[in-house]
Amino acid sequence: MLRLKIIRLIVTVFVFLGATSMKAQDSIKWMTFSEMETAMEKEPKKVFVDFWTSWCGWCKRMDATTFKDPEIVTYINEHFYPVKFNAEEKETITFRGTEFKFKAVGRRGYNELAYQVLSGKMSYPSYSFLEEESVQVITTVKGYQEPDQLLPILKFIGDKHYKNTSWKAYKSTLKSD
């Protein structure tokens, strides 16, 4: 009887641990700019930055839908360092040796890092793709994206098609549903 209880306990623990680890794989492994810089020192990868704000309804919808899609999660985690950044972050951020501060401008203000990466075009959600070595902006995509809209963009950048092919030419090779 005691042996049966121990076996049940062991099985329950393994099932729980398996479900927990599966759950962790079902989400994007978001990091900060600082964490991304540290990771880049060990293994350079392209960077996917999600610029969001607390009041942005479309940002919340991206989190609830597109960023939960299994294909999106897997592709982002495998090909990019994903950074989630509140464009209105009030804390000073140090990135590549430069301090970026909050600017109290207009009704809400912005963090200088978001302003620089987005070239002053502050709309949300926005997603910037950065080179792995230089961390220069490859491109920025604006607005809510369904999974079937975002995945081709991720592959265009992640698989380095952008280096030899225009987006228009690449898009024409994709099959339509």
> Cis peptide leading into 147, omega within 30 of 0?
no
pLDDT at 9 over 70: no
**pLDDT tens by residue, 107-139:** 999 999 999 999 999 999 999 999 998 899 999
Q: Can you tell me the mean pLDDT for 61-84?
A: 98
The residue with tokens 């990135």 is 95
Q: Where does the pLDDT of residue 26 fall: very low under 50, low under 70, confident under 90, or very high at 90 and above?
A: confident
The total number of structural domains that make up the chain: 1
Do 47 and 77 form a contact (C-beta atoms < 8 A)? no
**DSSP H or E segment with residue 38:** helix 33-42
Q: Can you tell me the mean pLDDT for 81-95?
A: 97
- Tell me the residue range of the domain where 122 lies: 28-159
- Other CB atoms within a 10 A radius of the CB of residue 144 amount to 16
Q: Has residue 39 been placed in a domain?
A: yes
Do 111 and 101 form a contact (C-beta atoms < 8 A)? yes
CATH code of residue 63? 3.40.30.10
Share of the chain above pLDDT 70, in %: 85
* CA-derived radius of gyration, the chain: 20
